[in-house]
């Protein structure tokens, strides 16, 4: 742990979460109370200008972490810093630098319009009336609500997609350096979800830091630079999507279509030189389709295939290595009981 902290201290960090614990007391009826351990010593770091995904099954502690970062919840113990400021001791300072999306389906006054809700929030955050009105128009334009003619309509008439856009507009209103987005694309249609993804990518390119949670692994894989998977309140694994897959030693699906007299030797050499789990051969006329699962880096697989084909004079007609997805990595972690 000390070593990890020492390493990341030299980096340009936006968010530091170190050994954070959080318990809830859930009231069940008048007398019964149940203690839920939401976070059990989680530690992770988010670098400036990156999109960092916080993944985990329901109840893993993602929303609790986001709420602590947003100063909405107090941790029981541990250190949480945003841009070097402690979220407990310097909460009001931290709030100046963060934008939050917590629940895209609610969080606004039903009878106020999107524009009015944003102006109210801007005033609440200390903006002048003219600044609040100007910024409200700008962010509504940015998220596409102005173009949809929805900014003046009451919030209760908004679709889920419009509500999500407004939630993101609210998060951007104060032009924050750090964005905390809890499941921002939950339940959105394809177009709205893509808009949110594109916006996140654009904002990260502008140098903002984004911590995003979600369950859509394909989406996270597309946008996230780093991923932290938590389960049962503990960090199970952290790193870039590629690093995670590699670190978890996930299987690559390898398909090779070959022809030549030494195909059987080629196959046996593959078996003896790669950590293969299951191999099938299908004869397609003069060619042979070899399909196998290999627990190895793709560069090593490719190098060996081409080396053997050259050495044994086997002709490679087709060759593909299908990488494991982030979803595979996630499932491997969660099903492996990580964190338990």
Closest to 44 (Cα-Cα) out of 94, 88, 84, 79? 79
Per DSSP, helices labelled H in the chain are 2-9, 62-69, 91-97, 114-124, 129-142, 160-172, 190-205, 217-223, 241-247, 263-273, 298-311, 326-335
Residue 65 interacts with other proteins (CB under 8 A): yes or no: no
Residue 272 interacts with other proteins (CB under 8 A): yes or no: no
Q: Which is nearer to other proteins, 18 or 72 (CB)?
A: 72
Residue 226 interacts with other proteins (CB under 8 A): yes or no: no
Q: Which is nearer to other proteins, 108 or 226 (CB)?
A: 108
Using CB under 8 A, pick the residue from 4, 9, 84, 126 that binds other proteins: 126
> CA angle, 192 as apex, 191 and 193 as ends, to 5°?
90
Which of these ranges, 20-28, 217-225, 265-273, 284-292, lies near other proteins under the rule CB under 8 A?
20-28
Residue 70 interacts with other proteins (CB under 8 A): yes or no: yes
How many residues make contact with other proteins (CB under 8 A)? 37
**What torsion do the CA atoms of 112, 117, 120, 124 make, to the nearest 10 degrees?**
130
How buried is residue 136: exposed, middle or buried, by Cβ count under 10 Å (0-12/13-18/19+)? buried
Q: How far apart are CA 48 and CA 55, in angstroms?
A: 19
Closest to 95 (Cα-Cα) out of 174, 17, 164, 181? 174
Closest to 237 (Cα-Cα) out of 335, 329, 328? 329
Q: Which is nearer to other proteins, 84 or 126 (CB)?
A: 126
At 217, is the secondary structure helix, strand, or coil?
helix
Helices (H) and strands (E) in the chain, counts: 12, 14
Quote the tokens at residue 336.
Answer: 């492996």
Using CB under 8 A, pick the residue from 62, 67, 165, 252 that binds other proteins: 67
Q: Which is nearer to other proteins, 34 or 335 (CB)?
A: 34
Using CB under 8 A, pick the residue from 110, 302, 311, 322 that binds other proteins: 110
Which of these ranges, 11-19, 120-128, 221-229, 292-300, lies near other proteins under the rule CB under 8 A?
120-128
Using CB under 8 A, pick the residue from 8, 13, 91, 160 that binds other proteins: 91
Which of these ranges, 44-52, 119-127, 157-165, 254-262, lies near other proteins under the rule CB under 8 A?
119-127
Q: How far apart are CA 155 and CA 153, in angstroms?
A: 6
Using CB under 8 A, pick the residue from 84, 129, 147, 307 that binds other proteins: 129
Residue 25 interacts with other proteins (CB under 8 A): yes or no: yes
How many C-beta neighbours within 10 Å does residue 29 have? 6
Q: Which is nearer to other proteins, 166 or 244 (CB)?
A: 166
Q: How far is the CB of 213 from other proteins (least distance, A)?
A: 16
Q: How far apart are CA 238 and CA 227, in angstroms?
A: 6
Using CB under 8 A, pick the residue from 52, 135, 170, 245 that binds other proteins: 170
Quote the tokens at residue 38.
Answer: 């939401």
Residue 27 interacts with other proteins (CB under 8 A): yes or no: yes
Using CB under 8 A, pick the residue from 19, 37, 86, 116 that binds other proteins: 116
Residue 24 interacts with other proteins (CB under 8 A): yes or no: yes
Per the listing, tokens 């996630």 go with 330
How buried is residue 212: exposed, middle or buried, by Cβ count under 10 Å (0-12/13-18/19+)? buried
Q: Give bridge partners of residue 24 from the DSSP assignment.
A: 36
Q: Which is nearer to other proteins, 126 or 336 (CB)?
A: 126
Which of these ranges, 94-102, 204-212, 258-266, 284-292, lies near other proteins under the rule CB under 8 A?
94-102
Using CB under 8 A, pick the residue from 74, 284, 311, 322 that binds other proteins: 74
Point out which residues bind other proteins (CB under 8 A). 22, 24-27, 38, 64, 67, 70-74, 91-92, 95, 100, 102-103, 106-112, 116, 119-121, 123-127, 129, 170
């Amino acid at each position: 742990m000390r070593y990890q902290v020492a390493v990341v201290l030299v980096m340009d960090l936006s968010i530091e979460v170190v050994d954070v614990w959080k318990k809830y007391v859930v009231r069940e009826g008048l007398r019964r109370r149940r203690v839920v351990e939401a976070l059990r010593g989680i530690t992770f770091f988010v670098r400036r200008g990156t999109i960092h995904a916080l993944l985990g099954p329901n109840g893993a502690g993602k929303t609790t972490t986001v709420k602590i970062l947003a100063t909405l919840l107090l941790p029981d113990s541990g250190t949480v810093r945003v841009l070097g400021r402690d979220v407990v001791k310097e909460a009001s300072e931290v709030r100046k630098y963060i934008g939050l999306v917590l629940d895209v389906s609610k969080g606004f006054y039903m009878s106020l319009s999107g524009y009015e809700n944003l102006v109210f929030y801007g005033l609440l955050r200390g903006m002048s009336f003219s600044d609040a009105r100007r910024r409200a128009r700008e962010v509504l334009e940015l998220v596409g609500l102005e173009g949809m003619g929805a900014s003046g309509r009451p919030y209760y008439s908004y679709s889920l997609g419009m509500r999500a856009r407004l939630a993101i507009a609210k998060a951007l209103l104060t032009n924050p350096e750090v964005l905390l987005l809890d499941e921002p694309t939950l339940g959105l249609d394809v177009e709205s979800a893509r808009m949110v993804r594109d916006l996140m990518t654009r904002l990260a390119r502008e140098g903002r830091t984004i911590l995003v949670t979600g369950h859509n692994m394909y989406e996270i894989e597309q946008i996230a630079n780093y991923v932290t998977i938590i389960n049962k309140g503990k960090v199970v694994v952290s790193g870039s999507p590629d690093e995670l897959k590699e670190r978890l030693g996930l299987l690559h699906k390898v398909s090779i279509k070959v022809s030549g007299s030494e195909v059987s030797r080629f196959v046996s050499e593959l078996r003896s030189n790669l950590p293969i789990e299951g191999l099938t051969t299908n004869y397609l006329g003069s060619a042979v389709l070899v399909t196998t699962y290999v627990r190895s880096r793709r560069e090593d697989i490719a190098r060996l295939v081409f080396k053997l084909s050259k050495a044994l004079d086997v002709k490679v007609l087709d060759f593909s290595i299908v990488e494991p997805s982030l979803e595979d990595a996630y499932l491997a972690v969660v099903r492996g009981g990580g964190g338990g």
